[in-house]
A and B are shown apart, each in its own frame.
Chain A
Amino acid sequence: MLLPRFEYHRPARLDEALAILAQHQGQAAVLAGGTDLLVGMKHKLMKPAHVVGLEALEGFGQIQEQEGMLLLGPMLTASALAGEPGVRARATALALGAGVLGSPQVRNRATVGGNVCNARPAADMCVPLLALGATALLQSAHGAREVPLSEFFLGPGRTVRTPGELLCGVKLPAGGPGVGSGYQKLGLRQALEIALVNVAAFVALEDDGQTVKTARVALGAVAPTPILSPGAEAALTGQVISEELIRQAAQAAAADARPIDDHRGSADFRRQEVLVLTRRALQQAWQAARQD
């Protein structure tokens, strides 16, 4: 399995990278960690004439915190996100998802930008980011735009990003006191496994420490894209959190799931697992919200 031939570009500055993408519209592929792109190219699923490596771009691997928001550079790797204390505390579900992605070798290369742009319905960073209320920061030679992740994914491998655009960061509200998130992944084996079902939950409590101000439950592998559960959100918002409330929200999430039968599991089994994993993810989120 050899890679198809291409010309390699290593831009050092963002404007350079955007100019290359503009010049080779549709003919250029962006290379981050390569754990999706190079596998796809080896299988000849795509044959880009130009490959634009982001490895030398300055600032693309940074984490910044400003005005209550976390700004994640697209080249942050899964290992960096899983190990970073700030991410573990303020975006717990993302750190947990990044920590169970693939294998150590994959985590050392796989980036958050690659995970988001690759847009698989079960992706271990997409599902947490959706629950955390993240926004994609896109930039092209013609300008910049921000797209909430809830509007970013269009289908398996398809997003609203145009070929001339680069994902330059992911922005999300930084957790703090009264805020928590959790992540649950079910696979058929414990490593190197794409989730059969995965669920991320986010809870923000009012100052009273028990009324739910905001909640989001994101579901993976039960629809063509990662999806939010409107039912779970409605069941939780404004209510006093309790085990019983969490059970109701989990039922609402299972009702929102649109799983299919495939060789890895049946739709019924997946729906049942949504119920279990949502309950656990919400318990995790509640626990974390109470702690800090």
Chain B
Amino acid sequence: MAKQTIEITVNGDRYEVAIDPWRSLAEVLREDLRLTGTKIGCNQGDCGACTVLINGRSVSSCLTLAVEAHQREVTTIEGLAKTPQELHPIQEAFVEKGAVQCGFCTGGMIMSAKHLLDKNPQPTELEIRQGLSGNLCRCTGYNKIVEAIGDAARRLNPAKEGQ
């Protein structure tokens, strides 16, 4: 069974990689592209640690074949900030609100938050919780994560503050 060559754009960079078709996108991101911010927890769609955006939509990269990302745009946690020296406002809010403990869920949480805020820039607390319903955290108890995302929404929409 031959390898297949795919072209993918990850965080704005174009890659051409020859891969076995049975490998998941999560594996190829971590092992071939060395983007290890995407974590593999349950490996079956339940925990959200492997969440990335494909063409702007959040998906579990453990349940996506890498070959399915052919000619698509993938965004991982490494590509969220504009430059490697900066943090994205969602990342800043997570740090400042203490929403990170062991960090294993954090990349996936932030990618889900990104998907949510792109669709709904001013979510209610319930909408934030629903937006995170595919991400498990064993450390924080979620409250600080929910607060951080509310805070990030205000950072991303400063004009709307106080409304």
Q: Footprint of B on A, CB under 8 Å?
A: 1-8, 10, 31, 34-35, 38-39, 42-43, 51, 53, 55, 79, 102-106, 108-109, 190-192
Contact = CB atoms under 8 A, between A and B. Distances in A.
Contact of A7 (B1, B44, B63, B134): B1
Interface stretch (B18-26, B79-87, B98-106, B141-149): B18-26
Interface SS majority for chain A: loop
Contact of B63 (A35, A79, A190, A192): A35
Contact of B58 (A35, A53, A108): A108
Given A6-B1, A39-B45, A109 B64 contact: yes
Contacts of B60: 105-106, 109
A3 B23 contact: yes
Q: Find the residue from A6, A7, A43, A108 having the highest chain B CB count within 10 A.
A: A108
Interface of B: 1, 4, 20-24, 43-46, 48, 51, 57-60, 63-65, 67-68, 70, 112, 115-116, 130-131, 133-135
Contact of A104 (B20, B43, B44, B58): B58
Contacts of B64: 34, 109
A105 B58 contact: yes
B44 A42 contact: yes
B68 A55 contact: yes
B67 A109 contact: no
Contacts of A2: 22
B44 to A, nearest CB: 5
Nearest to A9: B21
A5 B22 contact: yes
18 contacts: A3-B23, A5-B22, A6-B1, A7-B1, A8-B4, A31-B65, A34-B65, A104-B131, A105-B45, A105-B48, A105-B60, A106-B60, A108-B57, A108-B58, A109-B63, A190-B133, A191-B134, A192-B46
Given A8-B21, A35-B63, A38-B65, A105 B44 contact: no
A105 B112 contact: yes
A43 B64 CA distance: 15
B134 A5 contact: no
Contacts of B70: 10
